[in-house]
Amino acid sequence: MTAPKKLYIKTYGCQMNVYDSERMAEALGGQGYVETKTPDDADMILLNTCHIREKAAEKVYSELGRFKGLKAARPDLKIGVAGCVAQAEGQEIMRRQPLVDLVVGPQSYHRLPEMEAKTRAGEKALDTDFPEEDKFEKLRARPKAKRGPTAFLTVQEGCDKFCAFCVVPYTRGAEVSRPVDRLLTEARDLVERGVREITLLGQNVNAYHGVGPDGADWSLARLIWALNDVDGLERIRFTTSHPNDMAEDLIEAHADCPKLMPYLHLPVQSGSDRILKRMNRSHTAEQYLRLIERLRAARPDLHMSGDFIVGFPEETEADFRDTMALVEAVQYGSAFSFKYSTRPGTPAAERAQVSEAEKDDRLQRLQALLTRQQRALQDAMVGREVSVLFEKSGRMPGQMVGKSDYLHAVHVDSDAIAPGDLARVRIVSSGPNSLAGELSR
């Protein structure tokens, strides 16, 4: 029997890249590949890249440089670059790093089997098209191996918003929504394999408008209600959303849908109307705050998460204070904050830049405020009873770790629970990054 070929995938960036890496592994599984945890014994190395942060491409080139020794020792080793950096710099990657055998964009990875065969024939393979065919439909079916209790499911890709700082519309393309039937089939398949919680993914997930089995245009809320009826699926989440697409039926779903969790990631980026306009966000700080009020009226215990960029071109101290005021008003349970970094080809890259010293100062002040809020909301969980989906063993013997309804990490000392169990837990203490609990009696 021929030994299986080994595939090593390193994934950068967001949850959508994690999902894409899983599907790439499945696509190459049909060519006889099995995944390995190390590049040292791999027959193929794939870097699934992200282009959001500054110097993303240079980090990829640096990573590729580390594989020169492996390639020299094993000339048959194939090395590929996938994802958004591949989409943005495909030809340049091939030119700068001759050791790269294939480059594939995020909309073309269903073509990996053909590209891999081409490299085995001694040719280079480059595909950064935006093909008309549905890549998800072209991919082979997911293998029936057991899965962990949580999984991602991409329902929408691309973005039509064209924020001034963002490369996603250029690397992922226009907004496209997957048909409802295919998503429900994939969700049921995941549940059959042990998944109890699904996070719906999209660059702009609440812009989802997929064709339903009735031929009608389904919203994200209608899709969530259909998933709510899937036997064995216990929890539903979605990310990442845009404030302008938070429709009324989705707000109502947060109030009424039993399986939709009380956690929402809703990026705002800035609290300054002047900067929001320069970012091309198409909403004001006041509109965002009123939206939060409507969401919390629907679901009072909703925990909010957000994204923030400090030091956007032309941002003043007054603009930054507006952001701090918005954060104080919302009281976030968690958030992601970054210094602005220029992305070549985006409008903001050509504008007057804020100094690095000012960016550093503002980021430290913002993160200190967000950390205080996160810790206060976490501490307020002590004494409450929550539902926890357990995912894995903890660091200590007999300890299990899972996620609460609100996405807090919770650990419990008990021999009576296993991965995949969903249990009621009383929170007894709060640590820096997690909660400790005990099973409710």
257 is in an annotated binding site: no
DSSP alpha helix (H) spans, 5-146: 15-29, 56-65, 68-73, 84-96, 112-120, 135-138
**109 phi and psi angles, rounded to 5 deg:** -75, -10
The rounded distance, in Å, linking the Cα atoms of 432 and 161 is 36
Half-sphere exposure of 290 (CA within 13 A, CB side): 7
Query: Which three-class secondary structure state does DSSP give residue 217?
Result: strand
Q: Determine the angle formed by the axes of helices 180-192 and 220-228, rounding to 10 degrees.
A: 30
Query: Which three-class secondary structure state does DSSP give residue 70?
Result: helix
Cis peptide before 150 (omega within 30 of 0): no
Strand order of the sheet with strand 197-201?
Answer: 150-154, 197-201, 235-239
Distance in angstroms between the alpha carbons of the first and the last residue of the chain: 53
* Conformation bin of residue 269: beta by default, left when phi > 0, alpha when psi is -120 to 50: left
Task: Please give the sequence-ordered ranges of beta strands (E in DSSP) within 141-266, or none if there are none.
Answer: 150-154, 156-157, 176-177, 197-201, 209-211, 217-219, 235-239, 263-265
Q: What is the DSSP letter of 41?
A: G
- Could you list the residues known to form a binding site, using ranges: 14, 50, 84, 159, 163, 166
- Could you list the residues known to form a binding site for [4Fe-4S] cluster, using ranges: 14, 50, 84, 159, 163, 166
